[in-house]
Amino acid sequence: MTTAQRPTGFGVDPRTANELKERYLQTRGFTERMCEPMEIEDYVIQSMPDVSPAKWHLAHTTWFFETFILSNNYPAYRPLNLQYNYLFNSYYNAIGEQFCRPRRGQISRPTVKEVYEYRAYVDEKMLDLIDKLDADDALDTIRDTVILGINHEQQHQELMTTDIKHVFSMNPLRPTLHVRPEDEPARGVPSHEWLRYEAGLYEIGYDGPEFHFDNESSRHKEYMEAYEIGSRLITNGEYIEFMNDGGYERPDLWLSLGWATVQEHSLKEHDWEKFDKPLYWFKTDDGWMQYTLAGPRPVNPDEPVVHVSYFEADAYSRWIGARLPSEAEWEIASADADAEGGNFSDNFTFHPRPLASDAPSGRIHQMFGDVWEWTTSAYRAYPGFQPWEGAAGEYNGKFMANQLVLRGGSCATPQNHIRPSYRNFFYAADKWQFMGFRLARDVE
């Protein structure tokens, strides 16, 4: 039996009180640093039901620490505002009722200033609690939950990035949020290669000492037929070839529900709503452009294609004569990659970058960072899956229906938040996240 090993370049959990406080403050500070270029008006807009205002993300992540840690472990704690439990509870029915998600943009109060005051209030109490429990040799009672809260906030850092990008893309001014250097001219990327993995019994899933979400367990065996997987991500230039060949006009390439989605969106009034190109692309006299958080940029043919749905990735795969990998195939191949040098949120570019033209042949590249990679795997429970106890058990398990798994993280994911067994999940038509893909195929 072959075991998919843990590559290098991933985070290690804090152990001591000082390490826990440092990671807590680093994570909370990174969230606020992401918001520094924003104006007050930017914090409150909700551009579609799936998007939450930045102000809501700032408050909800704070509510999480308040609700799951302070309320249960700090007898002297007094909530700053009891109504926050209703306003900023996302979907935890065991905690109580929630404000309607599609209407979060209607919450003008508390103000942005008051939300930052709420964050500071909870931060002060959290640090005080960690010190008190450390002095009583009782830090283990909250350590795992604090680490969960840190990882939860990192998830919302990514959601906040993708949400504000959608918000800004609605603005005809196409504003800039994060300045980055001008893109390098296209130089070409290494040829796409097929890397073979032999048939056999493999282990996937997480089984180790560091933090992982409940949906990554338990580690289990899967028998795999021999397959090949692409050495790199599919690029904009390759995707344009699919578009130019009438890829969006050929029903034979599309799943039935995907083709229905293409047809439905062809009737939309606005160009950005149409399902005939990656999200945020628009055509000019000079060619394809795309909206980025650094403002509009020409579509670079060398960059990984991003903001495509599962339906589009699947149609491209059929067009080229291949398919998408399963999540097990992806995780097995990830043992030959690592996260070091990957393109994550840590570098504040928030955009995928081309594979270096001198990247070595015969190796797998771009598996961590840049774009979340679609797989063919339905989001379901692994054998032996056990949700966490209490309200935290609603975190993942309740969503295991009608969604597909994505792997690898993106340019909006913190590096110490990702790992090979991490399972993200979205609906097949979703594309506002940093979603891309690589190919796979069967072999004899």
Tokens at 148, concatenated: 């969960």
CB 302 within 8 A of CB 187: yes
pLDDT of res. 396: 82
Who contacts 222 (Cβ-Cβ below 8 Å, separation ≥6)? 201, 202, 203, 204, 328
Sign of CA dihedral 171, 173, 177, 183: positive
Q: Which of helix, strand or coil describes residue 314?
A: helix
CB 69 within 8 A of CB 149: yes
Q: How far apart are CA 206 and CA 4, in angstroms?
A: 10
Who contacts 208 (Cβ-Cβ below 8 Å, separation ≥6)? 6
pLDDT of res. 389: 83
Q: Which of helix, strand or coil describes residue 204?
A: strand
Phi-psi region of 344 (alpha: psi -120 to 50; beta: other; left: phi over 0): beta
pLDDT of res. 6: 52
**CA-based nearest residue to 216, from 438, 429, 6:** 6
* Average pLDDT per 10 consecutive residues for the chain, totaling 444 residues: 59 94 98 97 96 98 97 94 96 93 96 98 98 96 96 98 97 93 89 97 94 94 97 98 97 97 88 91 95 97 98 98 98 94 95 96 97 98 88 81 97 97 97 98 93
Domain 194-442 class, CATH top level:
alpha beta
pLDDT of res. 266: 86
Q: Which of helix, strand or coil describes residue 216?
A: helix
Domain boundaries, the chain: 17-169, 194-442
pLDDT of res. 391: 73
Element (H, E) at 295: strand 295-298
Phi-psi region of 82 (alpha: psi -120 to 50; beta: other; left: phi over 0): alpha
Q: How far apart are CA 6 and CA 331, in angstroms?
A: 10
Tokens at 63, concatenated: 């509510």
pLDDT of res. 327: 98
pLDDT of res. 8: 66
pLDDT of res. 268: 83
Give the E-state strand segments of 131-286 in sequence order.
194-197, 200-204, 220-224, 227-230, 281-284
pLDDT of res. 272: 79
Q: How far apart are CA 18 and CA 411, in angstroms?
A: 29
Q: How far apart are CA 219 and CA 208, in angstroms?
A: 10
